[in-house]
Structure 1
Amino acid sequence: MSHLLNADLHCHSVVSDGTLTPEALAARAHGNGVQLWALTDHDEIRGQHRAAAAAQALGMDYLTGVEISVTFVDTTVHIVGLGFDADDAQLARGLAATRDGRGERAQEIGAQLARVGIRGAYEGALCYVDNPELISRTHFARYLVDTGHCRDAGEVFRKYLTEGKPGFVPHRWARLGDAVRWIREAGGMAVIAHPARYRLTANEEYALFSEFQQHGGQGVEVVTGSHTAAEYATYAAMAQEFGLAASRGSDFHSPGESHTDLGALPGLPGQLTPVWQLLHERILRAAR
């Protein structure tokens, strides 16, 4: 499997904070020329069998996927898991524990927004949620845009949902080592998602990559929807420095919100080892 493979290994469905079903995402990916696909819902694997069946029906290769929320140096970092057993009990238990607390956090976000004059935001956000266990800031953003409080999701986050703003409520997620272990022991590969988004200092970022590798993490998203061309080069170099395989994924959530569509990214730089080369046997097994 070459670097030129159109692989999209990061996107979200209604099972977490996307707006399309797993089946609709599969159809969109296939229509956009994706050859290898993974659905990576936040802290939830309930859509995996549906996604795999839809991909198989379209003749598209599939890898199981998940995006796990981790707290690292007081920052929320995301770790993508690929190619694991979707029925692994330990992974399911770990994800359930990670999801705990989202509802309480969401109610506090609603209360904080009410204090600045935006009433009913928690109840409003719930209307956008397919899985109430996974209510998130994205659902609040959709509510505030649709009710005219902000022009778009970016404005919602800038004004209300980032640190220091009314509506920001921190949450303690899984530990990095636990997330990597759940993925590995379920037979999968752990990948650092969109590293440029975290705004870590150089020392903090080095510590993240070092600790991730020590726990058995094997990959990093180099080409992803939120990275610039310069950041592709930065994280290609980081992948080489730490001996990590490179992943590619749009982080697509919704036709109306996402800047990058499924399958629309450039290919991986040629000097890197794509994650799908290391996962080749699992891709073949899934296709049988």
Structure 2
Amino acid sequence: MTLMSTENLASFSTKRVDLHSHTTCSDGGLSPTELIDRAVNFQIDVLAITDHDTVAALDIAKGYIQEKNYPLTIIDGIEISTRWHNFEIHIVGLNIQANHPALVSLIHSQQQARELRATLIGEKLAKCGFDHVYQQAKALAGEGSITRAHFAKVLLNQGHINHMQAAFDKYLGKGKRAYVKPQWCDIETAVEAIHLAGGSAVIAHPIRYDMTTKWLRRLVVDFKSCGGDGLEIVLPQMNNEQRKLMLSFCLEYDLLASLGSDFHYPTKWADLGKNLVLPEQAMPIWQAW
């Protein structure tokens, strides 16, 4: 766990903070060092690296920062995939102790579930007429976490689709021909592992789940009952109604507020630090550190 002094915590509100980003260690487009270079170029002061079910990028990134003597604070993080009813909910762990046994054990079981799912996706895509997609997706992932995004990129590279989202719309999305229901841990297990590792548990991008406001409230209530700490209430692309709703959940259920770009690769719609400002009424997640 990265210990923060009171002075450092107080200064967070005056800095550029992004608490959700990815690297090639999961489904990001930039290596850990490339992500750090971009963060520095974008004048980010505090960055959390939150790859899917892995912490492999953290030591690489911190070693690179030290080597370059960059003025960038890294928050050790992870994004854990969980199952909740018929939804896949992502729980971000922030300010974690990455090598804690409880977290290491959970990562191992998550990676096993991820590998099994990838194998089954490959089999289904083969039945769709796309051969050797699993092998190519695995090669793209390298030693990182294999995700559906790797399969989408293979289909794009092979010319079967015109853009990444089309892979999910036609094959990989829920209910589509190559969709495989994931066997992730439940929310309570993820929160417990994050807490044992000294971190704060946050629901990632709650506005992006395909659910009604009633179901979203139910998710927040269940998450709170599991000991969850906060909500990611600010992302680059949000309308005013979404911002108001997320803030109201934080205030009503006494949850801390986080913010992050969920950066995977540069786009014109979202980038590191873009449009990330917490509302004044919200209590920042770093107050828990």
Structure 2 equivalent of residue 21 of structure 1: 31
The alignment status of 1:233 with 2:278, answered yes or no, reads no
Query: Using a 3 Å threshold, how does the CA distance of structure 1 residues 105 and 65 change in structure 2: closer, same or farther?
Result: same
Q: What displacement does 1:7 show? A: 0.6
Structure 1 equivalent of residue 288 of structure 2: 278
TM-score by length of 2: 0.90
Q: What displacement does 1:125 show? A: 1.4
Structure 2 equivalent of residue 261 of structure 1: 271
Q: What displacement does 1:258 show? A: 7.7
- For 2:167, the aligned partner's letter is V
SS where residue 98 of structure 2 aligns? coil
Q: What displacement does 1:266 show? A: 3.3
- For 2:51, the aligned partner's letter is D
Query: Using a 3 Å threshold, how does the CA distance of structure 1 residues 60 and 145 change in structure 2: closer, same or farther?
Result: same
The alignment status of 1:218 with 2:232, answered yes or no, reads no
Structure 2 equivalent of residue 158 of structure 1: 169
In structure 2, which of residues 75, 79, 86 is the aligned counterpart of residue 67 of structure 1? 79
- For 2:79, the aligned partner's letter is E
Correspondence list, 1:1-288, <5 A: 1=11, 3-56=13-66, 57-131=69-143, 134-225=145-236, 227-255=238-266, 259-279=269-289
Query: Using a 3 Å threshold, how does the CA distance of structure 1 residues 258 and 86 change in structure 2: closer, same or farther?
Result: farther
Query: Using a 3 Å threshold, how does the CA distance of structure 1 residues 177 and 24 change in structure 2: closer, same or farther?
Result: same
Query: Using a 3 Å threshold, how does the CA distance of structure 1 residues 46 and 2 change in structure 2: closer, same or farther?
Result: closer
Query: Using a 3 Å threshold, how does the CA distance of structure 1 residues 225 and 121 change in structure 2: closer, same or farther?
Result: farther
- For 1:251, the aligned partner's letter is D
Q: Report percent identity of matched pairs.
A: 35
Query: Using a 3 Å threshold, how does the CA distance of structure 1 residues 91 and 12 change in structure 2: closer, same or farther?
Result: same
Q: Distance in 2 between matches of 1:219 and 1:231?
A: 16
- For 1:268, the aligned partner's letter is L
Q: Distance in 2 between matches of 1:268 and 1:32?
A: 19
SS where residue 56 of structure 2 aligns? coil
CA contact (8 A) 1:3 1:269 kept: no
Query: Using a 3 Å threshold, how does the CA distance of structure 1 residues 37 and 101 change in structure 2: closer, same or farther?
Result: same
Q: State the Cα deviation string for residues 189-232 of structure 1 (Å, max 9, x = none).
A: 00000001112233432222112112221111011245444322
Structure 1: runs of 5+ lacking an equivalent: 280-288
CA contact (8 A) 2:261 2:276 kept: no
Query: Using a 3 Å threshold, how does the CA distance of structure 1 residues 258 and 188 change in structure 2: closer, same or farther?
Result: farther
- For 2:202, the aligned partner's letter is V
CA contact (8 A) 2:188 2:226 kept: yes
Q: State the Cα deviation string for residues 214-263 of structure 1 (Å, max 9, x = none).
A: 222111101124544432222111111111111111111123x6841111
Number of equivalent positions: 277
Q: Distance in 1 between matches of 2:142 and 2:14?
A: 35
CA contact (8 A) 1:249 1:265 kept: no
Q: Distance in 2 between matches of 1:145 and 1:4?
A: 41
Structure 2: runs of 5+ lacking an equivalent: 1-10
Q: State the Cα deviation string for residues 82-120 of structure 1 (Å, max 9, x = none).
A: 011122111111111111122222122122122222222
CA contact (8 A) 1:10 1:38 kept: yes
Q: Distance in 1 between matches of 2:284 and 2:149?
A: 30
Structure 1 stretches of at least 4 aligned residues deviating more than 4 Å after TM superposition: none
- For 2:102, the aligned partner's letter is Q
Q: Distance in 2 between matches of 1:91 and 1:84?
A: 9
Q: What displacement does 1:44 show? A: 0.6
Q: What displacement does 1:184 show? A: 0.8
Query: Using a 3 Å threshold, how does the CA distance of structure 1 residues 51 and 245 change in structure 2: closer, same or farther?
Result: same
Query: Using a 3 Å threshold, how does the CA distance of structure 1 residues 144 and 91 change in structure 2: closer, same or farther?
Result: same
Structure 2 equivalent of residue 283 of structure 1: none
